[in-house]
Amino acid sequence: MKVLVVGNGGREHALAWKLLQRERIRQVICIPGNGGTATTKGCQNLPLRVDDFEGIARFALVQNVSLVIVGPELPLSLGITDYLQHEGLTVFGPSKEGSQIEASKCWAKTLMQSAGIPTPGFEVFTNLSAAIAYLETAVAPIVVKADGLAAGKGVTVAATLEEAKTAVETLFHNGFSTVVIEECVTGQEVSILALTDGVSVRPLLPAQDHKRIGEGDTGENTGGMGAYAPAPLVTPALMERIEKEILKPTVNALRQRGIDYRGILYAGLMITPQGPTVLEFNCRFGDPETQAILPLLETPLEELLLACSQKRLEQLPEIAWKPGVAVCVVAAAQGYPGTYQKGQVITGIEQAEELGAKVFCAGTQLKQQQLVTNGGRVLNVTATGETFEEAIATAYAAMDCIQFEGMYYRKDIGHRVVSTTSSLD
Ligand code: GLY
């Protein structure tokens, strides 16, 4: 069968790599893909825009594509699933209406509030002066969120009210018409990516991301600088609670609103002393969490995604996982998440993979047969192991083989889990 993957990140390279481990997958086409998918055997890039729904549909129909997997939130929020389904294609990813769970913080918070799903307290503002007046009497730290897609730059955890005011001003100034101001909760963040066909819900392994650019979780927020799975913090009992209190009620609430949500429901949770609470929902696979989760997946990926798209997830046996753990370390371009250069030559991937790691490409492209940088997050070096110590050691040894000018990566990916495990010894 032929599968089409929409997107160009490390997540999409990981999806294509995982799919191609199955003999029944004859070809994966990535739109537009990256330097890694361009050089993966069985994979081909197609240079279409992710919002060229007509072009994508035409290609998929002519090529008899069996499944379209949509990676990023932007085409989902623009209605790619609705369009392709209308053309008769099988699509993994929620409809435009369902994607509001990520595309509108205000919509998602209101859904959670009315369905009794735990989430920090919040207020919604549609004008600057009301938001500033509210902040005059609020207590810091406090969280300011843009109500719309902001490529990972829409959330400020403000340590002071002055910082919160600046964040609100910046969002309105940048054209957002609505902002959400939210209570700041503390604890550890976890990412729960769950498969759903709109009725059944099957969580994947819990993962933890490292959102800040700097070691020790300092500096600016990024799309994610590294991840690991399974996150030991999420015990079976906690996962049961997350399913019961968050995932199932959310899918039910969506269905009650007439939304047939088929795809990934990604719950970004804070595990507080009182229990899990939802910081945000995403309507897609997380990046880089996916790169840490998929190497551990035993059940064929396409069977799971097809079952979601065809509304028969309930009929599948439990998801099977390989033993062990996985760690993914992101290499970024100098300057990211701010401005950065493109076009730097990347070397050492073969040597890195000889050490047992898998390198998923993100912001890369092939230029005159050379792999060069083409984005902020450039590569994801992923390693599995029996223990986190082993997986971390392999990932960093592999990272040492890779070079490009201005390459930056955090040296402490997995620090939380290693210090937790050692303190339990
Ligand atoms: N890793 C965060 C995200 O995918 O949104």
302 lines ligand 1 (CB under 6 A): no
Nearest CA to ligand 1 atom 5: 286
pLDDT at 72 over 50: yes
Amino acid letter, 66: S
* Per-position DSSP letters for 260-283, written without gaps between them: ---EEEEEEEEEETTEEEEEEEES
Tell me the CATH class for 188-236+245-315: alpha beta
Looking at this protein, which amino acid is placed at residue 408?
Answer: Y
Instruction: Decide which of 362 and 423 is more confident.
Output: 362
How far apart are alpha carbons 300 and 319 in whole angstroms?
9
Six-digit token string for 377: 């997050």
- Provide the percentage of residues in the chain whose pLDDT is more than 90: 95
Mean pLDDT score, 239-244:
98
Q: Is 280 in the pocket of ligand 1 (CB under 6 A)?
A: no
Q: What is the pLDDT of residue 244?
A: 98
pLDDT band at 424 (very low <50, low <70, confident <90, very high): very low
Per domain, the residue ranges of the chain are: 2-93, 121-183, 188-236+245-315, 325-418
Testing ligand 1's pocket by substitution, the residue of 191, 221, 228, 410 carrying the most ligand atoms inside 8 A of its CB is 191
What CATH class does 325-418 carry?
A: alpha beta
CA distance 239 to 241: 5
Same CATH topology for 2-93 and 325-418? no
For residue 208, what are its two tokens? 């933890």
Residues 379, 375: Cα–Cα separation, whole Å: 10
Superfamily of chain region 121-183: ATP-grasp fold, A domain (3.30.1490.20)
Model confidence, pTM: 0.96
**pLDDT per position as a tens digit, 300-346:** 999 999 999 999 999 999 999 999 999 999 999 999 999 999 999 99
For residue range 177-215, list pLDDT tens digits in order.
999 999 999 999 999 999 999 999 999 999 999 999 999
pLDDT of residue 421: 53
- Top-tier CATH class for 2-93: alpha beta
Query: Residue 148: which pLDDT band, with cuts at 50, 70 and 90?
Result: confident
> What is the C-alpha separation between 270 and 267, in angstroms, rounded?
10
Atom of ligand 1 lying closest to residue 286 CA = 4
Output the residue whose Cα is nearest ligand 1's atom 4: 286
